[in-house]
Amino acid sequence: MSAKDDMLAKKVWAVVGVSADKAKFGYRVWERLKKAGYTVYAVNPNLDEIDGERVYPSLIKLPEKPDVVNCVVPPAVTEQVIPVCAGEGIRFAWMQPGSDSRRAVQLARENGIQIVQGCVLAELRKRV
């Protein structure tokens, strides 16, 4: 099973960098994962809610540990998120285009976190 297949088989996701702007990828990723049947937690320290659903300020504030963290943030933020994933025992991270960096990838490898770099929206479209 590929890393993509492995992650897409997991049912609880967190989207770090969710946006209230429906045109932005942070919103589109969150919405598409929900429509595909996943339990999806929105994470953004600058928002309280989106479409009537709670937005959490950080991964450590979530009501349950997600199986996969999807990063839709600048690379410097992803580099801060990966150590939090490691500390929380989260073993899978999906880095959307533009959110990854060599440092983020290196941090994931050092902490035993399996990663996918690419667009989850494109992967979900392939599977419909």
Domain edges within the chain? 3-126
Assigned CATH topology for domain 3-126: Rossmann fold (3.40.50)
As a whole number of Å, the end-to-end CA separation of the chain is 18
| 7 token code pair | 């992650």
pTM score above 0.75: yes
pLDDT in tens, 105-128: 999 999 999 999 999 999 999 886
**Cβ(29)–Cβ(120) under 8 Å?**
yes
82 membership: H or E segment, kind and range:
helix 75-88
pLDDT digits (tens, 9 = 90+) for 53-65: 999 999 999 999 9
